[in-house]
């Protein structure tokens, strides 16, 4: 493996000058967002476990990737997220209530008109890469000074959609940044069984795209690498593949049980390198943060999260046919019969319940 970009060591000491990357005040702001989305993640899992939310993919351990990436994007860029990207969307202005609605099965969870260019979550593996090169091609044809950022997991790099997308991005020099969250596990398949390549950015070589190796638990490194790649794309210099080295501290989703396949010792070691711990230690050493401020901030975060949950619960359920209504601009004729049948079934069920 080549050199990996890192600014903070595991013990919270600075190992590389980052004074030109961001201010201390901005770093503190990013830390606060990381704490907030971690607490939100915990609440979302609790809601799922009590039947108040559908299957949910935790982002525990990916806070630095999400918050750092979201902070590096500009409003006129386009985000193509995958399902573990609540922190990125949060930094883009998408509310927690929207996230809860999405995982609660409500189509309005993907409707955030303030970000008309961003895409909703992509749950199929790696198909979002093809969407990204499509949007990037349009940007290039229109001579836009914007870029596309697409996120994916390490498992997605084994899919043809990823290989074909980086190949096209390289040939056409498209303004797109591929960010791989290498969290070491593709559901129950470890990274070593995903690919024989020494690093995942080795795959970018065949596409003629530069690859960057980054400590994905170091938010300064995440922000710096993504910001530079986006600037490069906007200048017309083409695509970049970034491999963020991290670790999935959670189950793959709430439908998974990672204790059945993941060594406990490996998980314990990963917790020593998790993204909030070292940053908190750095901020305390720099006299920018205290345990008292941590407690106050967590109390404040709790109120924000509970307000979002209350709004989620207060949202009137959608009609069953809403899935059809949000899928197409104009519903194909062959689906009208299915939509009508669904409405009739819902009416019968409601009548049975009333009876």
- The secondary structure element, H or E, covering residue 68 is helix 63-72
Tell me the angle at which helices 24-49 and 275-285 cross, rounded to the nearest 10 degrees: 140
Beta bridge partners of 241: 178, 211
> What is d(CA 185, CA 247) in angstroms, rounded to the nearest whole number?
8
Q: Of these residues, 6, 84, 92, 248, which one is catalytic?
A: 248
Query: Which residue among the candidates 26, 76, 235, 261 is catalytic per the annotation?
Result: 261
Place of tokens 């010792």: 265
Instruction: Return the axis-axis angle of helices 63-72 and 219-234, rounded to nearest 10°.
Output: 30
Length of the chain: 355
Sign, Cα dihedral of 221, 223, 227, 229 = positive
Could you confirm whether 245 is annotated as catalytic?
A: no
Which secondary-structure segment (H or E) carries 298?
A: helix 291-314
Catalytic residue at 145? Answer: no
Give me Rg for the CA atoms of the chain. 21
Strands 185-186 and 189-190: antiparallel
Classify each residue of 84-103 as buried b or exposed e, where b means 16 or more C-beta atoms within 10 Å of its C-beta: bbbbbbbbbebbbbbbbbbb
Q: Choose the catalytic residue: 252, 262, 278, 282.
A: 252
Is 98 a catalytic site residue? no
- Give residue for tokens 């406990």: 264
DSSP bridge pairs for 149: 79, 177
Query: Within its chain, how far is the Cα of 91 from the centroid?
Result: 11
Under DSSP, the state recorded for 185 is E
Q: Which residues are catalytic?
A: 248, 252, 261
């Amino acid at each position: 493996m080549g050199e990996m970009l890192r600014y903070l060591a595991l013990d919270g000491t600075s190992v590389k000058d980052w004074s030109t990357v961001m201010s201390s005040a901005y770093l503190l702001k990013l830390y606060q967002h990381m704490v907030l989305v971690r607490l939100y993640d915990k609440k979302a899992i609790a809601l799922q476990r009590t039947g108040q939310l559908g299957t949910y993919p935790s982002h525990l351990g990916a806070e630095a990737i999400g918050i750092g990436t979201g902070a590096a994007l500009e409003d006129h860029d386009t985000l193509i997220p995958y399902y573990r990207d609540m922190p990125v969307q949060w930094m883009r202005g998408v509310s927690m209530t929207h996230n809860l609605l999405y995982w609660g099965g409500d189509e309005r969870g993907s409707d955030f008109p303030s970000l008309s260019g961003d895409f909703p979550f992509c749950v199929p593996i790696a198909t979002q890469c093809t969407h990204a090169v499509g949007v990037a091609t349009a940007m290039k044809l229109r001579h836009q000074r914007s870029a596309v950022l697409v996120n994916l997991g390490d498992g997605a790099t084994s899919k043809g959609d990823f290989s074909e997308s980086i190949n096209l991005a390289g040939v056409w020099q498209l303004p797109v940044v591929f960010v791989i969250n290498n969290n070491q596990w593709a559901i129950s398949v470890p990274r070593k069984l995903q690919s024989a390549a020494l690093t995942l950015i080795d795959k970018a070589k065949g596409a003629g795209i530069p690859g960057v190796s980054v400590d994905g638990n170091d938010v300064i490194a995440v922000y710096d690498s993504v910001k530079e790649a986006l600037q490069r794309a906007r200048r017309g210099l083409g695509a970049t593949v970034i491999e963020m080295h991290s670790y999935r501290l959670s189950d793959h989703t709430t439908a998974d049980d990672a204790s059945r396949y993941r060594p406990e010792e490996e998980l314990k070691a990963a917790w020593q390198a998790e993204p909030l711990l070292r940053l908190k230690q750095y901020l305390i050493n720099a006299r920018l943060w205290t345990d008292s401020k941590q407690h106050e901030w967590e109390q404040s975060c709790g109120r924000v999260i509970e307000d979002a949950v209350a709004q989620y619960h207060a949202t009137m359920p959608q009609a069953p046919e809403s899935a059809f209504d949000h899928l197409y601009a104009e519903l194909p004729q062959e689906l009208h019969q299915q939509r009508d049948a669904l409405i009739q079934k819902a009416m019968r069920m409601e009548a049975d319940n009333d009876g």
